[in-house]
Structure 1
Amino acid sequence: MRQFPIILIPPPVQRIAQSKPDAPAFTGNLPIAPSQAPQPIETQEAILLTIGLILVVGVVTLIAKELGIVVLILGTIAIIFKVRYQFQTYRNRYQKYQDSLQGYLLQLESYSREELQYQKKLAIAHGSERVLTFRQQQYKKLFAKLALTDQGTAINELDNSIHLATNAVRFGNALRNYLSGNLYQNAKLHIPSIDYEWSPDLVYRDPELNCHIAIEIVSSVEDRAAIAQNDLAERFLINANWIIIKFAEAQIQRKTLECCKEFAKLLDRLSLDPKPIDQLTDVADLN
């Protein structure tokens, strides 16, 4: 019984159940932070220049000693002038850095405001009510052509005409207390590929969305031929965008309310109807 309930969901239904309305576009660009603060003398740069000069002088000296001395003098003078220039321009460079930093902070503040506004718009666009409405609009198009060969009899119409002894009727009467849609027994659908009139234990139909959910109650002793036939029928149904949920017979008999909650969780998870689960919060989960 551990593998039950078994739930078969068509791929198009799964895609809709995970879909959301298009999010608003975010046009803000994260500002680029300025480089690190300037130093009065870029010591690392001066050291690298000195090392470079020594290497160049060494190579030139191997070719011409006098030329090496000239290169050393000129290179030293150039490094001294560069270091002096850095020291003299430090205040201006530091002021430019401060201006750049202030500009960056202002841009960052503006970006943060834009992002906050975007998050608010996104929260509205992806709010639970909007997502539910968005998904149900898609479901109406997907389920528009679903129909039964014979709708059967609504469970509430069976109350006075038959004895409530069958598991299907007993479960149907318990389940319909929480649903806005209708439950039917003896519903039929012709499966052309195997020329078979398929009739599940119960069929749930949402009149607004026209979604159809087959509810099967699986006995521990089932005929192999019937199992094979039902498997072929289920493939046809899944391709036709039916949803199928199977409970074990023992679950229906011993844990009727827990099975009702499992069905309500399915409706909520697929965004078909979130209301039934609110009525069953005090009921334990099926295990």
Structure 2
Amino acid sequence: MAKIPAVAWSAFVSGLLTLGIRIWRQQQLYLKRLHKYEYELQQYKRQLIAYQERENQHKRKVAESQKPENIKKYRYKLIREIMSKAVPNDGINITDEQNILNSELGRYLNKLFSNKIYTDVTINNPNSYIPYQLDIAYIDQSLHLYIDIEIDESYNDEAGEPVYEDVLTYDNKRHQLFLDKGWLVIRFAEEQVIRQPESCCKVIANVINKVTGIAIPKQLNQMENLQKYPS
């Protein structure tokens, strides 16, 4: 049997060593990649758990916020923020005219909303030197609550139009000005005020209840709802 030259053996051994080194390096690289993958997988799992916990916390908060009592609290908070920006009346116009307060509606208002009803309040008209005179004002400075209670003029029964010219345009501008100043505006027809003064008070009490949570006076709970006129 022929002998393998030493050079050949040397080359063979060298090749085996080179191959072994390459295999070892590939294995080390594989292990390194495997460790990196396992580390990233663990990181991902921890992030997923953290995300799921945040998601569950968010769901709990949403569920809590959707409870009727919390919705009500949040609603009142927003309303109070809006009310805090309301602009008070500009002045007082002292007059001897007390027809409204001496009317049945006026007596009910003073009885139900003591010390909060005014008939001599004015708000400056930006388009005239003559200020707007409010029919009735409900003012609760402790709550920063301002309500303009308007009694609309009579309408012509045949034509179905206001008695006075341009009263609609005038009232619309007046109405919008009060809204811009953060006032609430409640409008009644004269016929409603005359026929159903207590029901008008119930409307006012309902509005106050909705924006402040103040309970409606007990004597109004059984009162019939305000009717529209003409029927």
1:135 alignment partner in structure 2? 78
The answer for unaligned runs of 5 or more in structure 1 is 1-24, 30-113
1:211 to 1:277, Cα distance in 2 relative to 1, 3 A: same
1:232 paired with 2:178, answer no
Mapped partners of 1:207, 1:180: distance in 2? 13
Matched, 1:207 2:141: yes
CA contact 1:181–1:204 (8 Å) conserved in 2: no
Q: Which residue of 2 aligns with 1:179?
A: 113
**Distance of aligned partners of 1:133 and 1:237 in 2 relative to their CA distance in 1, 3 Å threshold:** closer
Q: Is the contact between residue 82 and residue 182 of structure 2 (CA under 8 Å) also seen in structure 1?
A: no
Which residue number corresponds to residue 224 of structure 2? 284
Deviation readout 1:211-252 (Å, 9 max, x if unpaired): 221111123143114443333222222222222111111111
In the superposition, relative to structure 1, how do residues 279 and 207 fare at CA in structure 2: closer, same or farther (>3 Å)? Answer: farther
For residue 266 of structure 1, what is the amino acid of its counterpart?
V
Quote the Cα distance in structure 1 between the aligned partners of 2:222 and 2:69: 31
Judge conservation of contact 2:148–2:178 (CA < 8 Å) in 1.
no
RMSD (Å), alpha carbons: 3.4
Separation (CA, whole Å) in 1 of partners of 2:124 and 2:101: 21
Q: 2:212 — aligned with what?
A: 272
Partner of 1:126: 70
- In the alignment, the residues of structure 2 paired with residue 277 and residue 26 of structure 1 have an alpha-carbon distance, to the nearest angstrom, of 45
Any conservation in 2 of the 1:179–1:276 contact (CA below 8 Å)? no
Structure 1 residues 169 and 214: alpha-carbon distance in aligned structure 2, compared to 1, 3 A threshold: farther
State the 1:254 CA deviation.
1.0
Look up the equivalent residue of 2:112 and give its one-letter code: Y
Q: For residue 172 of structure 1, report the CA deviation from its aligned partner.
A: 2.6
C-alpha distance in 2 between matches for 1:26 and 1:179: 49
Post-superposition Cα deviations, 1:119-164, rounded to whole Å, max 9, x if no partner, equal 4575387164x33652353134322xx12222357xxxx9xx87x7
**1:256: Cα distance to partner?**
0.8
- 3-state SS of paired residue (1:212): strand
- Residue 176 of structure 1 aligns to a residue in which SS? helix
Q: Supply the AA of the counterpart residue of 1:28.
A: N
Decide whether aligned partners of structure 1 residues 149 and 184 sit closer, same or farther in structure 2, where only a CA change above 3 A counts.
same
Of residues 117, 125, 150, the one that matches 1:191 is 125
**Percent identity (aligned):** 17
Contact 1:181 1:207 in 2 (8 A): no
Q: Number of paired residues?
A: 166
State the Cα distance separating 1:281 from its structure 2 match: 1.1
- Confirm or deny: 8 A CA contact 1:148 1:188 kept in the other structure: yes
Which is further off, 243-252 or 174-183? Answer: 174-183
Cα shift readout 1:57-110 (whole Å, capped 9, x = no counterpart): xxxxxxxxxxxxxxxxxxxxxxxxxxxxxxxxxxxxxxxxxxxxxxxxxxxxxx
Cα distance in 2 for residues equivalent to 1:278 and 1:27: 46
For the pair shown, the structure with the greater C-alpha radius of gyration is: 2
Hey, what's the Cα distance between the residues in 1 that align with 2:141 and 2:200?
Answer: 22
CA distance in 2, matches of 1:214, 1:121: 33
- TM-score (norm. length: structure 2): 0.58
2:169 equivalent to 1:256? no
Q: How high is the TM-score relative to the length of structure 1? A: 0.48
Shift of the 125–226 alpha-carbon distance from structure 1 to 2, 3 Å rule, reads closer
Tell whether the 8 Å contact from 1:265 to 1:277 is kept in structure 2 after alignment: no
Match of 1:223 in 2: 164
SS of corresponding position for 1:267: helix
Q: Is the 8 A contact 1:214 1:245 kept in 2?
A: yes
Structure 2: segments with no counterpart, 5+ residues: 1-52, 156-162
Secondary structure of the residue aligned to 2:220 is coil
